[in-house]
């Protein structure tokens, strides 16, 4: 198993659908992150969980709902999305949130909202 | 405002040449990191340089940090076609709610 695994790799959904992105890390890390990567924009941090508690929420619309049931798993629940939400969603993990060391990224979930 | 900005936005060179990418940032940092991203894939960590370090090497990579100029450079020597990717710098200055702030990246193309 690679360090950080994301599923699905590709997702197409309508604006009224409900779907979820899943991330799993096998590195024993304590912090997990969701990033959004849109074309020609810097990577945007969406959510951070440290030891299963949400510690950052960067004014993300409520149509994105994160869930961290344990330190190895992170979900991003999606509902009533907009076409501008189409992007590559990247999950990452790090040893700890308080120490800004290396981030380990998954391969990303490419989301297209029709 | 954005913390890290890479320059140039795009770079195209011949295989075997050296590639240099620059990153500028605005506030004091504890460390600066460089990441690589192949098209449509996740980011891969390349190197971390701390604010008290001036230069660091890893294989064909050489990173410099000038805290007085708030800038860093990534040099890839003897480039290969497989080095074709986007390269991002990331700094740990706290900016709003972000812990690690990424630049927009440099798109590097190595022509065989």
pLDDT, residue A111, reads: 96
In total, the C-beta contacts within 8 angstroms joining chain A to chain B are 60
Contact B79, B24 (CB under 8 A): no
Contact B79, B15 (CB under 8 A): yes
pLDDT, residue B1, reads: 45
pLDDT, residue B3, reads: 65
Residues of B with CB under 8 A from a CB of A: 2, 4, 30-31, 33, 35, 40-45, 48, 88, 90, 92, 96-105
Are A56 and B99 inside 8 Å of each other by CB? yes
Tokens, residue A85: 């939400």
Chain B residues lying within 8 Å of A59, measured CB to CB: 97
Q: What is the mean pLDDT of each run of 10 residues along chain B (112 residues)?
A: 76 97 90 94 95 96 96 97 96 68 93 92
Tokens, residue A86: 């189409």
Are B45 and A103 inside 8 Å of each other by CB? yes
* Closest Cα in chain B, distance from residue A108 (Å): 6
pLDDT, residue A39, reads: 86
pLDDT, residue A103, reads: 94
pLDDT, residue B29, reads: 86
pLDDT at A1 over 70: no
Write out pLDDT tens, residues A15-41.
888 999 999 999 999 999 999 999 878
Chain A residues lying within 8 Å of B33, measured CB to CB: 102-103
Length of chain B (residues): 112
Which of A100, A97, A50 is closest to A74 using CA atoms?
A50
pLDDT, residue A41, reads: 85
pLDDT at A13 over 50: yes
* Distance spanning both ends of chain A, measured CA to CA: 32
Please state, for a pLDDT cut of 90, what percent of chain A lies above it.
Answer: 75
Reply yes or no: is the peptide bond before residue B99 cis, omega within 30 of 0.
no
Regarding predicted confidence, which is higher, A78 or A59? A78
pLDDT, residue B79, reads: 97
d(CA B109, CA B112): 10
d(CA A91, CA A21): 9
d(CA A64, CA B86): 27
pLDDT, residue A32, reads: 94
Chain A residues lying within 8 Å of B105, measured CB to CB: 42
Residues of A with CB under 8 A from a CB of B: 4, 6, 40-43, 45, 48, 56-59, 88, 90, 92, 97, 100-108, 110
Are A103 and B104 inside 8 Å of each other by CB? no
Q: Read off the pLDDT band of A59 (50, 70, 90).
A: confident
Q: Read off the pLDDT band of A51 (50, 70, 90).
A: confident
Write out pLDDT tens, residues A61-105.
999 999 999 999 999 999 999 999 999 999 999 998 876 789 999
Are A101 and B42 inside 8 Å of each other by CB? no
Are B42 and A90 inside 8 Å of each other by CB? yes
Are B48 and A43 inside 8 Å of each other by CB? no
């Amino acid at each position: 198993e690679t360090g950080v695994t994301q599923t699905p790799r590709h997702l197409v959904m309508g604006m009224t659908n409900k779907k979820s992105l899943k991330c799993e890390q096998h590195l024993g890390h304590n912090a997990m992150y969701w990033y959004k990567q849109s074309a020609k924009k810097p990577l945007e941090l969406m959510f951070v969980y440290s030891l299963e508690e949400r510690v950052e929420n960067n004014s993300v619309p409520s149509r994105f709902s994160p869930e961290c049931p344990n330190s190895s798993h992170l979900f991003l629940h999606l509902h009533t999305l907009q076409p501008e939400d189409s992007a590559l969603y990247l999950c990452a993990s790090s040893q700890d949130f308080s120490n800004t060391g290396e981030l380990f990224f998954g391969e990303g979930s490419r989301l297209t909202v029709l | 405002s954005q913390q890290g900005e890479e320059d140039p936005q795009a770079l195209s060179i011949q295989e075997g040449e050296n590639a240099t990418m620059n990153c500028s940032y605005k506030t004091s940092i504890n460390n600066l990191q460089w990441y690589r991203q192949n098209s449509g894939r996740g980011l891969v960590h390349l190197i971390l340089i701390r604010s008290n370090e001036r230069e660091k090497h890893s294989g064909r990579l050489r990173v410099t940090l000038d805290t007085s100029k708030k800038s860093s450079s990534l040099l890839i020597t003897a480039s290969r076609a497989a080095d074709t990717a986007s390269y991002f710098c990331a700094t740990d200055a706290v900016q709003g709610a972000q812990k690690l702030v990424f630049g927009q990246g440099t798109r590097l193309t190595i022509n065989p």
